A and B are shown apart, each in its own frame.
Chain A
């Protein structure tokens, strides 16, 4: 790639150095600072209201154990939403991946092959979602409502609605690698969440794939005019959602060493809420991994916190709704000001 421009004579220009200033930082990271403030404010509120719970480490170990299941999936979902698409099929992908896992284990007696098979199944379903959206031009919201039902149906038909024990995985390396606790009380799924979040951040911010994801969500016409393969990029995004969903399905199942055919059903709205709470725009072109990460922990903490501060569990959904609506309003307001 030539860096020498036509008609532009090269002159010694000092290398661009981005000077740091607090206002610049605030302007550039408005949405992330906004949701981080919400997070800190909520946390402070919880500590004041329920110090017995929130000043002890146990509650945090509990969060690290349960939040990663949906927070992982929120990472590639953030990318898909930034690209202006949507995927509602991931809860079914979690379960379908486990069907492959069990079938492959039954026939080969290999946990490793079963694991690889589950991931491959997730990627295949993601690819199929992408192809339906890109090649047939079906809006992804509609297409993945369809595939969500289809693959849940496939889980029930193939598995005859049966659940099953996964105790045999306890003897394999997979169990400690995915859900063990090698570092004191920090569960492996938390480590995996961090790994996936870092990989997602790098892909989104330091790779062509991510640059094209933002571009497609921002202005798909510009992307096409500038020669970006918008179809392939979006299909790749769907494949990533499929892959991570199947992975999360295995992790969540191994955590309880049991497979339920309803696996994933409670995760749909939580995962989506994490993404939107984190400041990702439903119109595309805007969103961050950091925001989603914080969003997932806010969503995950509310349920435990409402009970801990002495409200009944009935309040959980009401508070979910309140936080989500207020945060999305905050993001809209911030993005208008930041321009």
Chain B
């Protein structure tokens, strides 16, 4: 059985800085993998390689067993990778409906926009899944006026809307209240329930442990360890994390 996504011996350098070194990473079907690691460990670089934002300096990327060269953002999207970025990738001066369809506006072959359809779809998504209860929020509302949680909601619903196979979440709980975090973690569980896969970065070990099937620990650009959350207790995981942070390895 082929993995939905596999990175083989992937390295990425920025000039002298080696952000990733010989990383092997697998993501199965219907699996949620949590990435853990300190600031600057290489989590974001890894995610940006998966989403096609960075090209690896060396190594190979496979989707469903097929090698994919020169992966870029549109290619990754075509392969079903959807991202909820740390910075949410929103345009705050623009309306909600424009943000939902950012970069892939519904249009006719000549590029003219299907404005009515986009507004209607946005309205449908809002009423069905975004949980926007305030009457003041319409598809015409400017995203800059939303709360942190609502902005995150926009980014998540956008990822859901387009037929994603792999949903990548880059620090999605950052800046969210407890209640909003809880909603978000339920959403991550929903990804698995829908038969899709997810990669999930978070600083918070509790968040990762509570939703992930598997945890991958990255340190200084290398994979320091992998654990199935079924086989390890939260306390043991915490202990291992601390050991990795101190020594750079599990041994």
Residues of A near any B CB (own CB < 8 A)? 1-9, 11, 13, 15-16, 18, 24, 28, 202, 206-209, 211-212, 214-215, 218-219, 221-228, 285-286, 339
**By the criterion CB–CB under 8 Å, are A223 and B142 in contact?**
no
How far does the Cβ of A59 sit from chain B's closest Cβ, in whole Å? 38
* Chain A binder among B2-10, B58-66, B121-129, B202-210: B121-129
Contact A8 B160 (CB under 8 A): yes
Q: Report whether A339 and B163 are in contact in the complex, using a CB–CB cutoff of 8 Å.
A: no
Contact of A7 among B72, B94, B138, B160 (CB under 8 A): B160
Per-position 1/0 for B152-187, Cβ under 8 A of A:
000000001111100000000000000000000000
A5-B72 Cα distance, complex, nearest whole Å: 23
The smallest C-beta distance from A17 to any residue of chain B, in angstroms, reads: 9
CB-based nearest B residue for A2: B163
Cα(A9)–Cα(B87), bound, Å = 28
Interface hit among B13-21, B23-31, B109-117, B219-227: B109-117
Q: A6-B196, A18-B140 are in contact. Are A11 and B91 (CB under 8 A)?
A: no
- What is the bound-complex CA distance between A224 and B77, given in angstroms? 13
- Expressed in whole angstroms, the Cα–Cα distance for A286 and B51 within the complex equals 29
Contact between A214 and B94, CB atoms less than 8 A apart: yes
Question: B242 an interface residue at 8 Å Cβ cutoff?
Answer: no
CA distance A224 to B72 in the complex (A): 11
Which B residue sits closest to A4, measured CB to CB? B163
Give every chain A residue within 8 A of B162 (Cβ-Cβ): 1-2, 5
The A-contacting residues of B in range 32-66, CB under 8 angstroms, are 51, 53
Chain B residues within an 8 Å CB radius of A2 = 162-163
Please name the residue on chain B nearest to A219 by beta carbon. Answer: B91
Q: A5-B160, A6-B163, A285-B94 are in contact. List 10 more A-B contacts (CB 8 A).
A: A2-B162, A16-B139, A208-B113, A212-B103, A215-B103, A219-B90, A222-B87, A223-B91, A226-B89, A228-B102
**What does the 1/0 interface line of B77-105 toward A look like (CB < 8 Å)?**
10000010101111111100010001111
What is the CA–CA distance of A11 and B128 in the complex, to the nearest angstrom? 8
Specify which chain B residues have a CB less than 8 angstroms from the CB of A286 in the assembled complex: 93
Query: B residues within 8 A CB of A209?
Result: 111
- Asked if A7 meets B190 with Cβ closer than 8 Å, knowing A208-B111, A339-B142, the reply is yes
Complex: A221 Cα to B193 Cα, angstroms: 32
Known contacts A4-B163, A6-B194, A285-B93, A16 near B122 by CB under 8 Å: yes
CA distance A5 to B140 in the complex (A): 21
Q: Which 5 residue pairs are nearest across A and B when measured between Cβ atoms? A: A226-B103, A16-B123, A218-B91, A227-B73, A7-B194
Residues of B contacting A212 in the complex (Cβ-Cβ under 8 angstroms): 103
Within 8 A of A (CB), among B187-205: 190-191, 193-194, 196
Contacts of A214 in B (CB 8 A): 91, 93-94, 98
Closest partner residue, chain B, to A338 (CB atom): B142
- Assess whether B160 is in contact with A6, with CB atoms less than 8 Å apart: yes
Q: Which A residues are CB-close (under 8 A) to B148? A: none
Q: In the docked arrangement, what's the CA distance between A209 and B84, Å? A: 24
Q: Is B137 at the interface (CB under 8 A from chain A)?
A: no
What is the bound-complex CA distance between A228 and B98, given in angstroms?
Answer: 14
Residue pair B138, A222 in contact (C-beta under 8 Å):
no
CB distance from A305 to the nearest CB of B (A): 34
B233 within 8 A of A: no
Q: Are A339 and B112 in contact (CB under 8 A)?
A: no
Contact A211/B113 with A221-B87, A221-B89 known, Cβ cut-off 8 Å: yes
Chain A residue numbers with a CB within 8 Å of B160 are 5-8
- For the complex formed, measure the closest distance between the CB of A27 and the CB atoms of chain B, giving whole angstroms: 9
Among B72, B91, B121, max chain A CB count under 10 A is at: B91
B106 interface contact, C-beta 8 A: yes
Contact present for B94 and A5 (CB under 8 Å): no
14 pairs across A/B with beta carbons < 8 Å? A1-B106, A7-B160, A7-B190, A11-B128, A207-B107, A208-B112, A209-B111, A211-B105, A222-B87, A223-B91, A224-B73, A227-B77, A228-B102, A285-B94
Indicate if the CB atoms of B191 and A7 lie closer than 8 Å.
yes
B53 proximity list for chain A (CB < 8 A): 224-225
* Residues in B neighbouring A227, C-beta threshold 8 A: 72-74, 77, 103-104
